[in-house]
Every structure is written in structure tokens, then in C-alpha cells.
């Protein structure tokens, strides 16, 4: 199905799995055309897009590594070519690493962490602002950064590098929100807590959500769909006076 000229377009980095996939599915059900970016796992991303399109929505998949500028430029060029507009950017692509103390962290680990989780978000914000800013004759828009409760907690003895990469994302949200508030762009963040996705296994802790559930005041981990609800609300007109906000989606943790 083709996107109409008036249909809003949402770009979700890392949209093929987990929180990104849930966001794509929910946003499409609410009428957005969605661009599902993935890095290497085409199969899950294509399945999300196929399900959306089969349900009468509009989704496309775009492979790009957003941890480097060339990947980000290629991704936005694809959005330009296919839609000619972008209304919502969700900076969701992110990684964790194996449990380690700061004293043992290598430069390679830190570079991967900060380029994937933080520099990607800066570069995508840069390209999105150019395409959204009313000061540049564009139609405005919304940016949602997927941070983490780790930025509050610090993640000692597990991954302080990850927590710091998300802390930088919080400050990006805080500063950019003020920079572009008068240009029709709202910038907010969600800070998920323990959410049941593949990311924990990629960090060597596949049972992390169950193992830590009792430490969450609500007594359970969250779902990707619960985070998606907050992201899609922040994107919507219902959040029209909400900018520079950090929405905790963490069960009280
Ligand atoms: P996930 O299931 O592991 O999915 C991560 C997604 O990011 C995948 O689609 C992956 O693409 C993509 N990605 C990774 N590096 C990329 C790159 N360089 N370029 C493009 N895409 C890239 O993770 P998740 O749990 O849904 O996490 C999504 C976001 O939520 C992350 O920013 C994470 O830090 C944050 N978060 C998660 C939790 C949690 O408990 N799950 C808590 C707080 C915050 P491929 O599919 O191609 O590999």
C-alpha cells in the first residue's frame, strides 16, 4: 500500500526487534507510515513490516548502521527518496555489552557503546531537525530518544559505560528540546527499566528480567509494548505541550 501525501512518517532506528518493533507496530496501527531501520537482522525487520502491510498499513525496512555518519546519511536519503518527509524520529537503536567493571573496559568496547548509543542519536537528530524545522520551512515534528533507567541508576558492576551513554542521551534531549522548541519540534525521552527483549541475552544475561523482577517496585519486568505506548504518545498531538521530558517506563524502579 502506498503512503498518502498527508500520512505522517515515523523513522525508528533499530525497529526490527524489541522496543523498536513494538513501536513500529503500534504507530502503524495509529496511521503512521513507518520506516523500520535495522543493522544486520533483516528477517525480523521484514516480518514486522510484512505484518503491518498485511494489516493495511505502510512500512518499509531500511538497512543502515546508525553508529556511523555514512550509515545515517544513507538512512535519511532512503527516507527522502521514499517519502519526502519525516514527522517523527525515534532514536531507539542501542546495545549493551557483557558485565564488566570500568577498570576493565577496553577502548574498543567504549567506542562501540558511545557510537551506537549516543553519536547515532546526535547524527539522526541533526538530520531530522533539518527536515522538520519550521525555521527552515518544514512542518515541525517530534523526536523521542530511547534512553534507560540506567542513566539514573549508574549500573555499577554491570555496565557503567551503557548507563553513561544513556546519560548523554538525556542531556541531548534536555538541550536539543530547548534549541528547537520554537521551531515546531518537540524532543522527549523515555527511560525504560527492565524490559523483556533480546538485549539482555546479547549482554550475556538472558534471564536478567526474571532474575531482577523482584527488585522492581511493581514486581515484574515490562513489555516492549508498554514502552511503545509511551513513545507513540510522546509522538502524538496529545503530547503537544510536552517537550524536554523524561518519561519513566520502569515499574517504579
Ligand atoms: P534489542 O531487542 O536488542 O533490539 C535492538 C535493535 O537495535 C535491533 O533492531 C538492532 O538491529 C538495532 N541496532 C543495534 N545497533 C544498531 C546499529 N548500529 N544500527 C542500526 N540498528 C542497530 O533491544 P531493545 O531492548 O529493544 O532496546 C531498544 C532500546 O531500548 C535500546 O536503545 C536500549 O538501550 C533501550 N533500553 C532497553 C531496555 C530493556 O530492558 N530491554 C531498558 C532500557 C533501555 P538488528 O535487529 O539488525 O540487530
Among this protein's residues, is 32 annotated catalytic? no
CB proximity list for 108: less than 8 A, separation 6 or greater:
none
The whole-angstrom distance between residue 236's C-alpha and the CA centroid of its chain comes to 16
Position in ligand 1 atom list of the atom nearest CA 93: 7
Residue 192 CB less than 6 A away from ligand 1: yes
Cα of 206 vs centre of ligand 1, distance in Å, is 15
Name all domains of the chain by residue range, CATH numbers in brackets: 9-192+223-247 (3.40.50.720)
Instruction: Summarize pLDDT for 132-171 with one digit per residue, the tens.
Output: 999 999 999 999 999 999 999 999 999 999 999 999 999 9
Q: What is the pLDDT along the chain (253 residues), one digit of tens a residue?
A: 466 778 999 999 999 999 999 999 999 999 999 999 999 999 999 999 999 999 999 999 999 999 999 999 999 999 999 999 999 999 999 999 999 999 999 999 999 999 999 999 999 999 999 999 999 999 999 999 999 999 999 999 999 999 999 999 999 999 999 999 999 999 999 999 999 999 999 999 999 999 999 999 999 999 999 999 999 999 999 999 999 999 999 999 9
Cα 197 from Cα 217, distance rounded (Å): 20
Cα 3 from Cα 52, distance rounded (Å): 13
Residue 185 CB less than 6 A away from ligand 1: no
Of 32, 38, 162, 241, which residue is the catalytic one? 162
pTM over cut 0.85:
yes
Amino acid at each position: 500500500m502506498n503512503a498518502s501525501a498527508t500520512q505522517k512518517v515515523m523513522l525508528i532506528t533499530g525497529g526490527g526487534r524489541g522496543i523498536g518493533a513494538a513501536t513500529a507496530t503500534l504507530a502503524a496501527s495509529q496511521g503512521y507510515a513507518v520506516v523500520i531501520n535495522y543493522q544486520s537482522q533483516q528477517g525480523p525487520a521484514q516480518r514486522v513490516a510484512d505484518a503491518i502491510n498485511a494489516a493495511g498499513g505502510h512500512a518499509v525496512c531500511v538497512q543502515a548502521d546508525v553508529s556511523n555518519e555514512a550509515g545515517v546519511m544513507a538512512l535519511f536519503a532512503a527516507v527522502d527518496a521514499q517519502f519526502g518527509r519525516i514527522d517523527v524520529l525515534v532514536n531507539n537503536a542501542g546495545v549493551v555489552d557483557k558485565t564488566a567493571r570500568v577498570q576493565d573496559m577496553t577502548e574498543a568496547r567504549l567506542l562501540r557503546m558511545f557510537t551506537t548509543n549516543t553519536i547515532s542519536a546526535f547524527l539522526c537528530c541533526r538530520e531530522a531537525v533539518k527536515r522538520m524545522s519550521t525555521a527552515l520551512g518544514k512542518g515541525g515534528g517530534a523526536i523521542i530518544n530511547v534512553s534507560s533507567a540506567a542513566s539514573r541508576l549508574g549500573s555499577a558492576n554491570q555496565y557503567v559505560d551503557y548507563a553513561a551513554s544513556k546519560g548523554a542521551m538525556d542531556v541531548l534531549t534536555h538541550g536539543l528540546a530547548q534549541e528547537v522548541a520554537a521551531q515546531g519540534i518537540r524532543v522527549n525521552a523515555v527511560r525504560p527499566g527492565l524490559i523483556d527483549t533480546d538485549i539482555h541475552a546479547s549482554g550475556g544475561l538472558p534471564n536478567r528480567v526474571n532474575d531482577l523482577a523482584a527488585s522492581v517496585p511493581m514486581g515484574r519486568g515490562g513489555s516492549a509494548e508498554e514502552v511503545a505506548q509511551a513513545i507513540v504518545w510522546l509522538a502524538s498531538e496529545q503530547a503537544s505541550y510536552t517537550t524536554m521530558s523524561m518519561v519513566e517506563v520502569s515499574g517504579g524502579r
